[in-house]
Amino acid sequence: MQFMFKKRDNIKEIEEGKYLSPKFDENGLIPVVTTDFQTGGILMHGYMNDEALKKTIETKKAHYWSRSRKKIWLKGQVSGFVQIVKEIRIDDDQDSVWLSVDIGNGASCHVGYRSCFYRSIPLGKIDDGKKIEMKFEEKEKKFDPEKVYKGQPNPTKI
């Protein structure tokens, strides 16, 4: 792919201009938030490198950079749950990306839930020495990860 991102050389242009000039961090990555086009809820938080962002724009299928596998990753390549991109936005200083995607009746989380954000944190004062107990907001998995990802390493790291 030969199209270019504009060089970042002027803060006013970055914030108020029309040209895409994303900022990749010291590892060459930009954080990406992916929301569900149907429900508006957040499905996942990931990262892209330059190539993944360009591929996503051109193919309208979400590509990420897998930090655990250290490679470009077409979301859904193993599970079949491809994310069809409906809209991409970038923020004021162009250092984070928002994808809105259509996943049909599928799922986005390798644990099996529709969204990776299936647990909520209680709010308010917590007693000294207490651990925080979360609540499951999704009760049923959309698929069985042991079948779908059979033989694949778990991306979660301690």
Does 19 help bind its own copies (rule: CB under 8 A)?
yes
Does 35 help bind its own copies (rule: CB under 8 A)?
yes
Distance CA 62, CA 70 (A): 17
Does 63 help bind its own copies (rule: CB under 8 A)?
no
CA dist 18 to 91, 92, 114, 118, Å?
A: 12, 11, 34, 36
To its own copies, the closest distance from the beta carbon of 61 in angstroms equals 10
Q: Which of 100, 93, 98 is nearest to 21 (CA)?
A: 93
Does 51 help bind its own copies (rule: CB under 8 A)?
no
Distance CA 69, CA 101 (A): 23
Binds its own copies by CB under 8 A, chosen from 72, 118, 148, 149: 118
- The DSSP symbol for 61 reads B
To its own copies, the closest distance from the beta carbon of 69 in angstroms equals 14
Amino acid identity for residue 23 in this structure: K
Distance CA 131, CA 140 (A): 25
Instruction: Label residue 17 left, alpha or beta by phi (over 0 means left) and psi (-120 to 50 means alpha).
Output: beta
Does 126 help bind its own copies (rule: CB under 8 A)?
yes
Does 151 help bind its own copies (rule: CB under 8 A)?
no
Binds its own copies by CB under 8 A, chosen from 29, 48, 62, 85: 85
Binds its own copies by CB under 8 A, chosen from 105, 133, 139, 140: 133
Q: Coil, helix or strand for 134?
A: coil
Does 69 help bind its own copies (rule: CB under 8 A)?
no
Question: Which residues bind to its own copies, rule: CB under 8 A?
Answer: 1-6, 8-11, 14-16, 18-20, 31, 33, 35, 40-42, 44-45, 57-58, 60, 85, 87-93, 96, 98, 109-111, 113, 116-137, 154-158
